[in-house]
Structures are given as C-alpha cells and as structure tokens.
Chain A
Amino acid sequence: MRSPRRLGDRLFSSGALAAGLLILVVLAAVAIFLVAQSLPALTAGGTDLPAGFTSFWSYVLPLVFGTVWAAVLALVIAVPLSLGVALFLSHYAPRRTARALGAVIDLLAAVPSVVFGLWGITVLAPFVQPFYTFLSAAFGWIPLLAGPVSGTGRTILTVAVVLAVMITPIITALTREIFLQTPRLNEEAALALGATRWEMIRIAVLPFGLPGMVSAAMLGLGRALGETMAVAMVLSPSVVVSFFLLRSENPTTIAANIALNFPDSYGSGINVLIATGLALFVLTFVVNAVARAVVGRRGGGKGL
C-alpha cells in the first residue's frame, strides 16, 4: 500500500503550475521591455521627436487626450444603443428568436477591425458628411459642432461611430446576460403590482443590472481605448487637443499614431512610440481595473 507521491501527479501538477507562472513571466517581460524601451524617450529632446514638439510630455499628452476623447465619444453612442439592444434581446424579442437575433449582433464582433476601418472610410464617412454639414449649419452655435465642416467626413465623430459599432456587441453581450439573470420573482412582483413592461424594467431589471452595466461599459471603454486600425484608417490625424467634432483637424489616438508612424520610424523615434504605447497600457489597465472592481463588489464576475 506504500508508494511515494506519484511521478505522474508531480509532473502534471508542476506542468500546470509552470504554465501559470509563464503567464506571470510574460507579463513581467511585457512591462520590463516596454519600460526599458521607453526610458530613452522620456528624456528625449526636440531632435528625437516629430517636428514641433519640445518634450516627450508635450507630445504624449495630446495623444492621451485624443485616445480618451474618441473612446468616451464612442461610449456615449454605444452605451444607450447597447442597453436598448440588450433589453430587446432579454425582455422584448420573442423567446425563440432572441437567441438567433443575439447571434446576429455577435456577428458584428466577428468583423476584423481593419474591415471596419475600410468600411468607415469608404462608406460611412461619405454617408455622414452631408449630415455633418447640416448639423453644423443648424446647430453651429453649439461649440462642439462649430465649423468649418470637414469635406470628407473623416472626423473624430465618424471614428467614434465606428468605434461604437465595434464595442456595441461587447457591451450588449455582457448586459444581456446580466438582464437575463434578474430574479424572476422581482419581475413578477412588479408586474403583479400593475406595472407596465417599462415600469417593471425600471423597477426590477435596471437596478439589479446597474453594476453589471457599469462594468460592461468600462470594458467597452477599455476596448475602444486600444482600438487601432479603425481609427488609423478613418481619421485624418494631427497631434492636437481639439474638442471640435466636425472639423478636418482632429486629435488622434495613441494606438493609431503608433500604427501610422511605426513602419517608417527608426532609432529614438521607435523609443518615443513605445513610450506612448506604455502610456496606453497604463491607461487601459486603470480602466479595466476599475471595471473589475465594480464587478468584484457585486460578488460575481460571471462571463467577464
């Protein structure tokens, strides 16, 4: 009956542990490499940077602004839309078709971002341009919408629309799951009180799903922050801080800036781009951490 601890067991469990530790090593490597390659950029002077910038920080700040601005705009569009779609799939569509319709929305998530970029620039930008002209003419007194309007439609607002289309399936999928988990009893209690369907949703479903909705939105934000190709293709970029939605001069994002400039960069130019990548990494890390904290407080991170 006596035998040492089995060889197979030891090999297998240490193999599994090794794989887990490899992830730790890889992440440490990512951090170390990025930081090491970024250090030269932090002290870079005017000669290492693109023309017109005196220090690394004056270069990266407008990029950070553009990244956050584009992602927030996308979120403003995507969140109400996703909530509507999620509610439609969880509480409005007939039970039997809801699953199939949900799969259709999931198809959006299957489209590669470069195809979204191509679509955004060849279809969406020309399509929305006349609307932009109209918007600026009618509501130009609102500072955000002030002209002169871009003649191509390649503005930050178009980018935000494309990003919104890309993150909508993500936010929808998460919120739909949460809406479906609403305790049946709460819903029936509300209906038994004579509530209409909307009142039931307001009383029972939305309060229950709120933390989940917040974290889904944050995860969508994280995705929008890091999205590269759609922005790089649609936008005609410049490194500026500008809130105007419809003009031809637009702030660009970190990721798009890297993608556009990296192939032609060399030497310290690469270090500068890697340093901006590090800034993006930190930014997404913070956003994702907040999202997880919200979910964590709720006690269950199912499906996230």
Chain B
Amino acid sequence: MVLSTPGPALHSGALPRHSALGLFALCLAVTGTLFLLLLLSGITPAYNIAGAVFFGLVLWAATISAVSFLVEGSRRAKDRLVTALVCTSFGVALLPLISLVFTVVTNGIARFDGAFFSESLRNIIGPGGGALHAIVGTLEITLIAALISVPVGLLTAIYLVEYGRGAVARAITFLVDVMTGIPSIVAGLFAFALFQLLTGDPGIRLGFGGSIALSVLMVPIVVRSSEEMLKLVPNELREASLALGVPNWLTVGKVVLPTALAGIVTGVMLAVARVIGETAPLLLIAGYTDSMNYNPFDQRMMTLPVYVYTQYTQPGTDVQPYLERAWTASLTLILIVLALNVIARLIARFFAPKLPH
C-alpha cells in the first residue's frame, strides 16, 4: 500500500460539531450544582440563578478556548474564545432584563387588584389604596403632550422633507439634534422656570407644565421618525400626483401623508412609550399628591412614575404596603409601555402599504 499526501492538508484537528454546546451545558451544570451547594450549606439565603448562569458562561468561555487551543491551534482557539465572549455578552445583557421582569412581576402581582385601579391614596395610611389618581394623571399629561408634539413634530418633518432647503432647514435639523440631547430633568427645569414666570408663583406645580416638559422631549423624536417615514415615500408618487395637476399641498396631504401614515403612527406611539415613563421632569413641575386631580391646569398632579418614586422614598411606618404599591405601579407602567410598543409594531406590520420596488 502506498500512502499519498496530495498537496496541503484540508483537514486539521477539529472539535466535534456540537462540542461548544455540550461544554456549555456541562459548565452550567457545574456552576448550577455549586450554587445549589452554597444554598444548602446556608451561605446564600436563596438560590442565585443569575450567579449560576453568569459564572457558567465565564467558565464556558475559559474551557472552550483552552480545549480548542489544545486540539485546534491558536487561531481557531481565538475564534472560539471570541464566539464564546460574544455569546456570553448577549447572555449577560439578558440577565438584568430577566431579573427585572421577574422581580417586577412577582412583587407587583400582589396588589394588581381592583382597588389599585379604582382608588386614589387619599387618606390612606398603610395598606390599601390605589393609583387611579396617578394613572389618570399620566394619561392626561401624556395625552396633552402628544397633542402638542404630534402637530409640531409632524409639520416640522413635512417642512424638512417637502419644503426645507438651505440655511433654515439646516438650522432646524441642527436644533432638532440639540433638542434630542436635552436631559429630561433640564426639560423639567425649563417648564418650571416658564410657569414660574407666567404665574409668578415661586412654587408652581401643575400637570400642564409636565405636558410641556414631555413635549420638549417628544417633539424631536416625532420629527426624526416622521422625517424617516416621509423620506421613504418614493418620489415617483409625488411626481405622479403633481403630473395629474394636483397642487403641492394636496399632494403632500393626500398622497404622501397617507402613504407614510402607518409609519408615522408607529413612530408617534414609540415616542409616547418613551416619554410616558419619564419621572424627573414630572417630579419637578407636576409634583406629587395623594388625591385625585382631573384638572391639569391647576394644582399638583400625580403620575405613575412619580408614584413609584414617592411610594418607595416616602413610606410610612409600615414599609411593606408602600413597597408593594411601588412594584404594582412599576408593573402597570411596564405593561403600558409594552402595550404601546406591541401596538406600534403591529400597525407598522399590517397597515403599511407595500411600496413599489
């Protein structure tokens, strides 16, 4: 028999196909058992899932690159190490999310009851009560903010895409950029300074001020997303309309806007989702109260994020009911934001017209 080696080798030392996954399971099992032992020996009070997963991932990254280095050589080992690191970072990024969702749901479910959604905190000391006044405040303040921001933002976007040329358009684009970077607390300070000057009341608090602050944050988001959507409308449709003898404004109003509508609505809903969880500006200008206030133009107005904050930071002697309410309000807030996101994406998926090409 003659052994021939035709040219350079095509095979090199290689780990079996699913060895990475197998090692991963093994490492998880090792750290899982380790933390179980820690639990049983009484060192940790509860089973530490996050710790087990985290150290499992670290152990995996170390072993897979070591094994690969021995079998496959340094280049492949480096590749394996990076793969492990990249996958680990994704896992690490998920951990806070999982922990947060788990905590909010388990702690928030206790008071997720009828009273929470039908009562305010007026005259409540200790357990009971609800967040209806905060929910009403959040809805009113955010709705007014949207009513201000959507026309301003949308019209600005229309100006930038359909009319804007030259220095004015560049200046507005730049200012929208600047506005995007305004920290939310600065928006709150602005609203406070504005209404303090208008009313002369040095300690002014009112819900409408919160709407103004949120509008400052929301307008640039609406401008940006609407601008993107309007730019997606093919020029051919504008030309088709103009060539039919339709004036420019009707072309924009009846061809461009309807075509971009689904995208614009999606952008607006995402913008609402972004500002509805804002706490700092509302803390400054809308203030906090335990009572229902339907009038955004007078007196303090409670909102859900501020409710979470004050329930946690200003508890009574028995902390537990306050903490429970804070968690339930957090859960409610997250559910609202999630619902807005889901609806926005559904609109984008099902109502957007199929554009040519």
Pair A197/B156 contact, Cβ less than 8 Å: no
Residues of A near B233 (CB, < 8 A) are none
What 15 new A-B contacts, CB under 8 Å, besides A119-B104, A284-B183? A6-B249, A23-B219, A26-B216, A27-B179, A30-B216, A33-B197, A34-B186, A81-B92, A83-B89, A84-B89, A92-B87, A107-B338, A122-B103, A266-B203, A277-B185
Given contacts A104-B94, A259-B185, contact A285 B103 (CB under 8 A): no
List the B side residues contacting A127 at CB < 8 Å.
50
**Across-interface contacts of B127 in A (CB, < 8 A):** none
Cβ contact of A81, chosen from B93, B183, B279, cutoff 8 A: B93
Contacts of B207 in A (CB 8 A): none
A49-57, A138-146, A147-155, A225-233: which lies at the interface: A225-233
A257 CB to nearest chain B CB (Å): 10
Contacts of A277 in B (CB 8 A): 185-186, 189
* A20 in the interface (beta carbon within 8 A): yes
Q: Which one of A9-17, A184-192, A243-251 contacts B?
A: A9-17
Interface hit among B112-120, B259-267, B306-314, B346-354:
B306-314
Chain B hits for A198, CB < 8 A: 78-79, 82-83
B93 touches A262 (CB 8 A): no
Q: Measuring CB to CB, which residues of chain A are less than 8 angstroms from any residue of chain B? A: 6, 8-9, 11-13, 15-24, 26-27, 29-30, 33-34, 36-37, 80-85, 87-89, 92-93, 101, 104-105, 107-108, 110-119, 121-124, 127, 165, 168, 172, 196-199, 201, 222, 225-229, 232-233, 255, 258-259, 262-263, 266-267, 270, 273-274, 277-278, 280-281, 284-285, 287-288, 292
Determine the chain A residues whose CB is within 8 A of the CB of B187 once the complex forms.
Answer: 30
Instruction: Label chain B's interface by main secondary structure.
Output: helix
Q: Are B287 and A17 in contact (CB under 8 A)?
A: no
| A88 and B334 in contact, given A81-B93, A114-B305, A266-B203 (Cβ under 8 angstroms) | no
Complex contact A229–B194 (CB within 8 A):
no
Chain B hits for A172, CB < 8 A: 93
Q: Mark B165-187, 1 if CB is under 8 A from A, else 0.
A: 00011011001111111111111
Report Cα–Cα, A82/B86, bound state, in Å: 10
- Whether a CB of chain A sits under 8 angstroms from the CB of B211 is no
Q: What residue in chain A is nearest B96 (Cβ atoms)?
A: A165
Q: Is B253 touching A12 in the complex (CB atoms < 8 A)? A: yes
CB < 8 Å neighbour of B75 from A105, A107, A199, A266: A199
Contacting B159 at CB < 8 Å: which of A19, A26, A85, A285?
Answer: A19
Name A197's contact: one of B83, B153, B183, B185 (CB within 8 Å).
B83
In whole angstroms, how far apart are the Cα atoms of A194 and B212 in the complex? 58
A-chain residues with CB within 8 Å of residue B172 when the two chains form the complex: 20-21, 23-24
Which of B21-29, B139-147, B325-333 lies on the face that meets chain A?
B325-333
Which residues of the other chain, A, contact B202 by a CB distance below 8 angstroms?
266-267, 270
Shortest C-beta distance, B87 to chain A (Å), equals: 6
Asked if B186 contacts A226 (CB within 8 A), the reply is: yes
Contact between chains at B97 and A258 (CB < 8 Å) = no
**CB–CB B100/A116 < 8 A:** yes
A-B contact count (CB 8 A): 264
**Prevailing SS type, chain A contact patch:** helix
- Report the bound CA distance from A93 to B93 in whole Å: 15
Q: What are some 12 contacts across the A-B interface (CB < 8 A)?
A: A23-B156, A24-B171, A80-B89, A104-B94, A114-B306, A121-B312, A197-B79, A197-B83, A226-B181, A229-B280, A273-B189, A285-B181
Which residues in A have their C-beta under 8 angstroms from that of B163? 13, 16-17
Chain A contacts of B334 at CB under 8 A? 110-112, 115
Closest CB-CB distance, B299 to chain A, in whole Å? 15
- A residues within 8 A CB of B203? 266
A255 touches B185 (CB 8 A): yes
Whether the pair A85, B93 counts as a contact (CB closer than 8 A) is yes
Contacts of B136 in A (CB 8 A): none
B90 and A88 contact, CB distance less than 8 A: yes
Q: A172–B190 Cα gap in the complex (Å)?
A: 31
The one of A87, A262, A278 that contacts B86, using a Cβ cutoff of 8 Å: A87
Say whether B248 faces chain A, with CB atoms less than 8 Å apart: yes
Measured between C-beta atoms, what is the minimum distance from A244 to chain B in Å? 24
**Do A281 and B182 have beta carbons less than 8 Å apart?**
yes
**Are A118's CB and B193's CB within 8 A?**
no
Partner of A118, one of B164, B184, B330: B330
Kindly supply a per-residue 1/0 record for chain B positions 314-351, scoring 1 wherever the CB is within 8 Å of any chain A CB and 0 otherwise. 00000000010011001001100110010000000000
Q: Say yes or no for B151: interface residue by CB 8 A criterion.
A: yes
B39 within 8 Å of A (CB atoms): no
Task: Judge if B132 is at the interface, Cβ distance under 8 Å.
Answer: no
Tell whether, in the assembled complex, residue B103 and residue A119 are in contact, meaning their CB atoms are under 8 Å apart: yes
Report the nearest A residue to B154, measured CB to CB: A19
Q: Are B333 and A6 in contact (CB under 8 A)?
A: no
Chain A residues closer than 8 Å to B180, beta-carbon distance: 288
With a cutoff of 8 Å between Cβ atoms, the chain B residues found around residue A9 in the complex are 247-249
Query: CB within 8 A of A285: which of B87, B164, B178?
Result: B178
Among B90, B183, B194, B326, point to the contact of A225 (Cβ < 8 A): B183
Known: A23-B172, A198-B79, A255-B183. A16 touches B279 (CB 8 A): no
Q: Bound complex: CA of A262 vs CA of B176, how far in Å?
A: 28
CB-based contact A12/B252 at 8 Å:
yes
In contact, A12 and B249 (Cβ under 8 angstroms): yes
Which B residues touch A93, using CB under 8 A?
Answer: 90
- Tell me the B101-159 residues at the A interface (CB within 8 Å): 103-104, 151-156, 158-159
Cβ of A30: which chain B residues have Cβ within 8 Å of it? Answer: 182, 186-187, 190, 216
Q: Quick check: B280 and A255 within 8 Å, CB to CB?
A: yes
Question: Within the complex, what minimum Cβ distance (angstroms) separates B39 from chain A?
Answer: 14
Cβ–Cβ < 8 Å partners of A258 in chain B = 185, 189, 280, 284
